[in-house]
């Protein structure tokens, strides 16, 4: 298999990525992740997925987001949760939340839930009004990366 046919490479924040608005970018591998990318490709090769369609059940994509993408909330959420439609490798799955200045506002505990491998979650500090960006990535058990970002807004209290 030519990895180039499956792996898209991009650089930058993703803000200018045409797929950004969809909130989902498949197989997006920035340069700093190349070591993990190699591990991923090895996993795909060892998994026998070379050159043919992989079982749909092995893929994993987000199914629901809380808060919802592009939503505006009257009260600050205390957690961000993403429900996935397939199993992932917890060690290579991550979620972060930043404010408009790009500063982390999550509690640094972003992870796959211990009891539910299809729930990616992270706790939040006390959020004031503003626009917040959720960045996530997951490594499905078939070795395929998916990552994306979306925003939600917390309204000023009245």
Q: What is the SS3 assignment for 20?
A: helix
Contact window for Cu ion (CB under 5 A) among 4-12, 98-106, 108-116, 139-147: 139-147
CB burial of 3-32 (b: ≥16 within 10 Å; e: otherwise) equals eeeebeeeeeebeebeeeeebbbbebbeee
Residue 7 or 83: the one with the smaller Cβ distance to Cu ion is 7
Shortest Å distance, C-beta 88 to Cu ion: 11
Strand locations in 45-92 (E):
62-66, 72-73, 79-84
Shortest Å distance, C-beta 27 to Cu ion: 9
Residue 94 or 124: the one with the smaller Cβ distance to Cu ion is 94
Report the alpha-carbon angle 124-125-131, nearest 5: 75
The answer to whether residue 147 forms part of the interface with Cu ion (CB under 5 A) is no
Shortest Å distance, C-beta 48 to Cu ion: 13
Report the alpha-carbon angle 95-61-76, nearest 5: 40
Residue 145 or 152: the one with the smaller Cβ distance to Cu ion is 145
Work out which of 142, 145, 147, 149 binds Cu ion, going by CB under 5 A.
142
Residue 44 or 127: the one with the smaller Cβ distance to Cu ion is 44
Cα 132 to chain centroid, rounded: 15
Q: Given the rule CB under 5 A, which residues bind Cu ion?
A: 59, 142, 144
């Amino acid at each position: 298999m030519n990895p180039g046919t499956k792996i898209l490479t991009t650089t930058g924040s993703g803000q200018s990525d045409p797929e950004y608005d969809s909130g989902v970018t498949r197989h997006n591998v920035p340069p700093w992740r190349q070591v993990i990318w190699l591990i991923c490709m090895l996993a795909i090769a060892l998994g026998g997925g070379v050159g043919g369609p992989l079982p749909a059940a092995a893929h994993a994509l987000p199914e629901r987001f809380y808060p919802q993408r592009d939503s505006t909330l009257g009260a600050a959420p205390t957690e961000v949760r993403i429900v996935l439609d397939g199993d992932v490798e917890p060690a290579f799955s991550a979620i972060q939340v930043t404010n408009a200045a790009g500063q982390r506002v999550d509690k640094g505990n972003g992870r796959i839930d211990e009891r539910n491998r299809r729930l990616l979650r992270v706790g939040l500090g006390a959020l004031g009004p503003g626009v917040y960006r959720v960045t996530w990535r997951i490594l499905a058990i078939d070795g395929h990366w998916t990552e994306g970002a979306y925003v939600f807004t917390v309204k000023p209290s009245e």
